[in-house]
A and B are shown apart, each in its own frame.
Chain A
Amino acid sequence: MTISIRRASVLAGGEAKAAAPARKAGSRRAVLLFLLPAFVVYTGVYVAPAIASVVLSLFRYSGTGDRPTWIGLRNFREAVHDAAFRSSFENTFKVLFFVGIAVFVASFVLTMTMREMRARGFVRAVLFFPYLVSPVIIAIVWGFMLDPTRGLVNTSLRQAGLGGLTQVWLGPELIFPMMMTGMGWMFTGFFVTILLAGVDRIPPYYYESADLAGATRWQKFRLITLPLSWDVVGIMAVLWVINAMKTFEFIYAFTGVGTPPSATNWTAALYVYYTGFAGSGQPELGRACAMAVIMLVIIGVLVLLIQRLMRRERIEF
């Protein structure tokens, strides 16, 4: 058994460059031929608009018929005083941290339990499925279950003689926590699947020898599982940040279709949509772009931070 140390490279692709045959003739033309189409489409349709967003965030612009006016950083400065902007911002962080922590704790509990179960394949398949279904569907189903007057939850509670426990689940106070719960439910299966794949790589004889040494469950988790799946935890954190930031459909469909939800329930993703495309007044495309830029910055900063925090000697086994 050889154990070597290597820096964890999160989300890094091609490592097997050495295996490629080094042929020089016509090399440049081949690279162009193979790479150019994807490069052009990706750059032209995805990267260029993303850069344009940064530029547009410095303008005031309300769409066709209007001339963009340069206003410098005013979109960002004014945003601080905009109630909708602030609550969207706060809600985004609530989702990132509260739902994130819940999803990670649930994923660890489920994974550590499933590791020892015979029916793990079946359990994983059932837990994972909500992630695959369209978030719109999840939102509709979740909304019907929680409908205060005739939803599944309250009806079941009443029929079980627990009428005292019924709540106005979709009222202004509870709708956002319920949205976060639904989001957690939707994402947990995905992270269980990833974590399980990481934990499954740990050789079983580590646990067996720990058993012989009389290690407790907690010691095995802290001394074997956690260090050996540490790089996977890092990948999960990065994936969580990206996925949580861009979640739109679920929140949109859950908090209100047809009528825009009150701005207190927006997240950054919804703010971009409502200020740019579906607001009550003039569309404020510059303002929408400012939020989009902030989203990008949050993702960038958090991903770098995670890589920093997670950076430690990677154990090869």
Chain B
Amino acid sequence: MTTAAPAGSAPALAPSSRPGRRRPIRRRGDRLGPVSLLGRLITWAWVLFNLAVFLWMVFASLKNSGQVFDSPWQPPTHPEWSNYGNVWNASDLARAFVNSILLVGGSTLVVLVLACPAAYALSRFVFFGSRVMTLYFVMGMGIPAQTIVVPAYIGMSHLSLVDSLPSLGLLYVAGSLPFAIFLLTGFFSTLPSELEEAATIDGAGRVRTFTQVMLPLAQPGVITAGLLTAVGLWSETFLSLVFISDDARDPLGLSVLTLYASMQYTSNWGGLFAGVCIMVLPVLVTYVWLGRRIVSGLTVGVGR
């Protein structure tokens, strides 16, 4: 079937250019029109704004409370590194940090352990109802946590499971499975089937083929899925707000919220921003280090 391609067909003009790659659009001598100029102005203003906000946040974490407000744009003249030490120890951010690492790390691991074989089966096995099953999992991406929170809370309090990190983790796992399975199903279906066939001919069973041949091949996808799950759960605060009441079990998000609420009275604003920076830092490091994978994972639905 053919259709009229917009703007006609002009492949002869650029025989070697591959679609979807970076390309120099502007030729020398091209002048920017007023519309482009305005667009660029907006874009750079937006970039500058984001950078300024970030810088302001870091500056504020190194100031005493007076300076935070009086001279917001000035770099800290005498950096108060003690802000960090204080919130880390006195406000128990250390414990919250450890809680968050365990909660997010553990949940992510379980998500991958459950999602990898499921996604593999959904993308490679031929069985009745596989399409419906895929849809059933993907559908979960559209179910907001607010829909499950009340029955989940009632059920867990009947089982005396409320206010514990493992049961919060269980909710995290269940809520993260749809996206992880969606991502990994797409990934597995792009892998070549020849190796799989070869493994079968060599006498490997399904489990062996999966663990020793396909899983290693899927490693980039698995890492991306884990990364996106972890970054998402690191920010999750709604379910933890409902399910965790003991301060000692607070994940970092709750701790920062508590800090925020109490700062209204203690007005140790520098300390609050130190807490904010402590929560942002792991995300920033991950982003700088593996940002490409995060972006490619989130845009995976676009390429197909």
Could you tell me which A residues sit within 8 Å of B by CB distance? 1, 3-5, 10-17, 19-23, 26-28, 30-31, 33-35, 37-39, 41-42, 44-50, 52-53, 56, 63-64, 109-110, 112-118, 120, 122-130, 132-137, 140-141, 144-145, 150, 152, 155-156, 190, 193-194, 197-198, 200-210, 212-213, 215, 217, 223-224, 227-228, 232, 235, 238, 242, 245-246, 248-249, 252-253, 257-258, 268-269, 272-273, 276-277, 285, 288-289, 291-293, 295-296, 299-300, 303, 313, 315, 317
Contact = CB atoms under 8 A, between A and B. Distances in A.
A152 B63 CA distance: 15
Chain A binding site: helix, strand, loop or mixed by DSSP? Answer: helix
A11 B138 contact: yes
Contacts of A127: 46-47, 50
Contacts of A39: 118, 133
B23 interface: yes
A112 B182 CA distance: 29
A152 B72 CA distance: 6
Contact of B25 (A116, A124, A210): A116
Contacts of B51: 126
Contact of B260 (A44, A125, A140): A140
Given A156-B72, A201-B19, A292-B150, A46 B5 contact: no
Interface residues of B, number: 129
A200 B143 contact: no
13 contacts: A34-B206, A38-B118, A39-B133, A47-B140, A49-B147, A134-B256, A145-B53, A156-B73, A203-B17, A206-B6, A213-B8, A292-B146, A317-B5
Contact of B299 (A37, A194, A203): A194
Contacts of A109: 39, 42
A49 B121 contact: no
Interface stretch (B83-91, B218-226, B275-283): B275-283
A30 B8 contact: no
Taking each of A30, A35, A126, A194, which has the highest tally of chain B beta carbons within 10 Å of its own beta carbon? A35
Interface string B210-254: 100000000000000000000100111110011000000000010
A111 B194 CA distance: 39
Interface of B: 1-3, 5-11, 13-14, 17, 19-26, 33, 35-36, 39-40, 42-43, 46-47, 50-51, 53-54, 56-57, 60, 69-70, 72-73, 113-115, 117-118, 120-127, 130-131, 133-135, 137-138, 140-155, 157, 170-171, 173-175, 177-178, 181-182, 185-186, 189-190, 193, 196-197, 200, 206-207, 210, 231, 234-238, 241-242, 253, 256-257, 260-261, 264, 269, 272, 276, 279-280, 283-284, 287, 291, 294-295, 298-299, 301-304
Given A14-B131, A20-B193, A112 B69 contact: no
A232 B301 CA distance: 8
A203 B150 CA distance: 49
A28 B206 CA distance: 12
A292 B147 contact: yes
A136 B127 contact: no
Contacts of B113: 37
Contacts of B20: 200-201, 203
Contacts, number: 372
B6 A276 contact: no
B226 to A, nearest CB: 15
B200 A201 contact: no
Contact of A33 (B145, B185, B207): B207
A46 B181 CA distance: 14
A44 B276 CA distance: 35
Contacts of B304: 15
A257 B257 contact: yes
B134 A134 contact: no
Contacts of A258: 261, 264
B39 to A, nearest CB: 3
A150 B68 CA distance: 9
Given A3-B5, A204-B25, A249-B235, A45 B152 contact: yes
A42 B182 contact: no
B238 A273 contact: yes
